[in-house]
Amino acid sequence: MSTENPISAPRTASYEADPEHVQRVLLLYSGGLDTSVMLKWIRDQYDAEVVCLTVNLGQPGEDYEAIRAKAMHLGALDCHVIDAREEFAREYVAPAIKANALYGGGYPLFTALGRPLIAKLAVEHARTAGCDTIAHGCTGKGNDQVRIEATVATLAPELKVIAPVRSWRMGREEEIAYAREHGIPIKSHPGDGTEVQAPYSIDDNLWGRSSEGRWIEDLEHAPEDDVFQLVTRPEDAPEEPELLQLSFERGLPVALDGERLGLAELIERTAEIGARNGVGIVDHIEDRIVGLKVRDIYEAPAAAIILTAHQDLERLVCTIHQNQFKAQLDRQWAYLVYAGLWWEPLRGDLDAYMEQVNAQVTGTIGMKLYKGTARVATRSSPNAVYDASLASFAESGGLFSQSASPGFIELWSLQSRMAWRLRNE
């Protein structure tokens, strides 16, 4: 019966694949349960060839050789592994730093930044490998499907998309049964292997790590220790504070404690220092673009340090008017990227403004890390709009005249005083 068949369900978008025309699929492969089952499932259901693509964005502890071997063992035509860490840092994380990018006041967008790059690489590889369709492992409830499909539909109107998790109607138990039946290796529990506990849903890269699912969905449940795989629990962090110096040039960090480093390496090293000091844990209630609210546990030690330092330095070198205005554009930038519209021209417009402002953001910020906090301790910049002699309590002449203050206050408060009188008399 065709109505029972998950692959011939009615299609609602122009870029959804017609099963008849699916011949060779580029699968975004992570090596986990979903995409491993998917590899086999696509070959069977669509009678199609599958080429896998695995992208290294700096997720710690991955064995890419093992992932590739697993894909080949499961019948992939080929499996490409790309190290995209530098491109990710330079083209995606760097603009986020310049835009002080945080969504909802706490999420540094690492997943949202990674998806358009992963999807862009999928498009490039689909084209060179002669694929007609791209498959991904995102569910129908999250933001990631939006980011990936919007990218493919924008960059490659000729390519189609399939998202098996949205249609195959298998839960975790059914997937495990499917895997067992088809000889797909699963990481089972060390115990008897009969009860395989659902893991957290993890996504990570060099800019941070997120965990969703299990007890995290229960808002009254405080974080359990096993969720923290990257950051040391603040209470277990060293008793002594650790100091670090971040030097910026034109809005980007270029040196850590005086040592010049490429951006990806600088981020990775900063993450290590932050992680051992318990820095970067965020317990976040988030408004997804697909309507749901969700709770995420984030571990983003590098972002917590670098964004704090960048924002502080930017405030020092910009005027009050620039600082007030840029915060609004920063927010718009973060929202666009969160919402999967990386390729929207407005982001380019905003980036032009970010570049212009960041041309002044040069200097060094000293940070003090201590048991979960990262505070700015020292600042220096050749571009600081700051003059210690003007700010000092001692009487200063020249540019700043205290005797001019009363006249300023009289005019500054004029409208407010008039309105107060009218409303209160």
Q: Which residues would be at the binding site for ligand ARG (CB under 6 A)? A: 111-112, 143-144, 201, 203, 210, 212, 286, 296
Q: Is 144 a catalytic residue?
A: yes
Query: Cα(128)–Cα(309) distance, rounded to whole angstroms?
Result: 41
Residue among 19 and 106 whose Cβ is closer to ligand ARG: 106
Residue among 168 and 370 whose Cβ is closer to ligand ARG: 168
Q: Which of 68, 85, 115, 147 is catalytic?
A: 115
Q: Is 201 a catalytic residue?
A: yes
In degrees, to the nearest 5, what angle opens at C-alpha 316 toward C-alphas 313 and 278? 35
Residue among 90 and 288 whose Cβ is closer to ligand ARG: 288
Q: Is 115 a catalytic residue?
A: yes
Give one DSSP letter per residue of 193-242, joined into a string. Answer: SS--PPPPEEEEETTEEEEESGGGG-TTPPPPGGG-SSSPPGGGS-SS-E
Token digits for 21? 């025309």
CA 316 to chain centre: 26
Least Å distance, CB 68 to ligand ARG, is: 21
Least Å distance, CB 271 to ligand ARG, is: 17
Nearest to 34 by CA among 229, 155, 128, 164: 164
- From residue 402, give the alpha-carbon distance in Å to each of 248, 346, 350, 406, 410: 35, 44, 39, 8, 14
Q: Which of 30, 144, 210, 296 is catalytic?
A: 144
Q: Is 257 a catalytic residue?
A: no
Residue among 100 and 111 whose Cβ is closer to ligand ARG: 111
Least Å distance, CB 224 to ligand ARG, is: 17
**In this structure, are residues 60 and 204 in contact, taking their beta carbons and an 8 Å threshold?**
yes
Least Å distance, CB 84 to ligand ARG, is: 18
Query: Cα(347)–Cα(13) distance, rounded to whole angstroms?
Result: 25
Q: Which of 201, 276, 351, 396 is catalytic?
A: 201
Query: Cα(9)–Cα(28) distance, rounded to whole angstroms?
Result: 22
Least Å distance, CB 234 to ligand ARG, is: 22
Residue among 299 and 314 whose Cβ is closer to ligand ARG: 299
**In this structure, are residues 160 and 26 in contact, taking their beta carbons and an 8 Å threshold?**
no
What are the residue numbers of the active site?
A: 34, 115, 144, 201
